[in-house]
């Protein structure tokens, strides 16, 4: 029987490859750190915490670091005058499944030096914990909450670590994990039962439910609209 031709989805199932071997995401090479001042400086100053580095999609430099040194390295990248990564444009997660590490990914940009850099921190699936960087970039606040909500990564030192997309009492786990069932962990009957039994006042303000003064304001607005139509 002829071997089935591989597709892009096979590459997703196989997970990340060793930097330098290429991936379906685009051309990738180990790159020469001399070509990126920050990468070469990282290797010189924090070489023991740098796991690997690569160039993806032609010009996107990626550095994998030991998550135990993440806050120290990211603080240095932000504050050092030679690098000054003042913009944290994204914090996200990647789960490759199969018991492989879940990666926390930081996408940064230095507006002063015009450089982009992506930092990736692999976390063991049985120890999804890393230091928060909210004290470095305020933009990381809600981004870290999203990674916590959808992947289950705990950010130590986060000022308000709670779900941001799913309900606070969502009991089915973390929806972007590869082991999360397509239709959720509960049966449709159980999901329906929980939805019907929930107290809607937990999720809505009184005015959203049509109680009190806001309802009267809304009624007056409707009256004014009706009058305007009559005048037209």
- From edge to edge, which strands make up the β-sheet containing 102-110? 28-29, 50-56, 60-65, 115-123, 102-110, 87-95
**pLDDT for the residue 8:** 59
By the 8 A CB rule, do 116 and 84 touch? Answer: no
Give the pair of three-digit tokens for residue 38: 């920050």
Q: How confident is the model at residue 199 (pLDDT cuts 50, 70, 90)?
A: confident
pLDDT tens for residues 102-151?
999 999 999 999 999 999 999 999 999 999 999 999 999 999 999 999 99
Contact 112, 79 (CB under 8 A): no
Neighbours of 95 (CB within 10 A): 23
Cα 63 from Cα 182, distance rounded (Å): 32
Q: Which residue has the higher pLDDT, 31 or 219?
A: 31
The model's pTM is: 0.74
Distance CA 53, CA 117 (A): 11
CATH: 3.10.290.10, 3.40.50.970, 2.40.160.20, 3.30.460.80. Which one for 8-173?
3.30.460.80
Ramachandran angles phi, psi of 116, nearest 5°:
-110, 150
Token look-up 């990248």 returns 77
Buried b (16+ CB within 10 A) or exposed e, 155-181: beebeebeebeeeeeeeeebbbbbebe
pLDDT single digits (tens) 27-63: 456 788 888 999 999 999 999 999 999 999 888 999 9
Per-residue b/e over 59-85, b at no fewer than 16 CB within 10 Å? Answer: ebbbbbbebebbbebbebbbeeeebbb
For residue 53, CA distances in Å to 45, 135, 177, 195, 215 come to: 15, 26, 25, 46, 58
Whose CA is closest to 94, among 122, 65, 116? 122
What percentage of residues in the chain have a pLDDT greater than 90? 61
């Amino acid at each position: 029987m002829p071997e089935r031709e591989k597709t892009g989805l096979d590459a997703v199932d196989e997970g990340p490859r060793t930097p330098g071997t290429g991936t379906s995401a685009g051309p990738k090479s180990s790159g020469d750190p001399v070509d990126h001042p920050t990468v070469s400086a990282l290797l010189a100053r924090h070489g023991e915490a740098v796991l690997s580095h690569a160039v993806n999609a032609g010009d996107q430099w990626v550095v994998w670091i030991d998550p135990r040194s993440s806050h120290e390295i990211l603080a240095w990248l932000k504050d050092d005058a030679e690098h000054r990564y003042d913009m944290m444009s994204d914090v996200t997660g990647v789960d490759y499944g199969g018991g492989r590490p879940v990666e926390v990914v930081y996408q940064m940009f230095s507006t002063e030096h015009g450089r982009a850099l992506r930092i990736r921190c692999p976390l063991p699936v049985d120890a999804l914990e890393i230091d928060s960087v909210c004290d470095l970039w305020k933009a990381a606040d809600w981004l870290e909450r999203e990674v916590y909500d959808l992947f289950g990564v705990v950010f130590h030192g986060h000022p308000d670590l709670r779900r941001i997309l799913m309900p606070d009492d969502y009991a089915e786990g973390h929806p972007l994990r590869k082991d999360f069932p397509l239709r959720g962990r509960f049966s449709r009957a159980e999901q329906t039962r929980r939805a019907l039994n929930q107290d809607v006042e937990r999720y809505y303000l009184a005015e959203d439910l049509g109680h009190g003064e806001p309802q009267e304001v809304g009624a007056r607005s409707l009256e004014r609209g009706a009058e305007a139509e009559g005048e037209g």
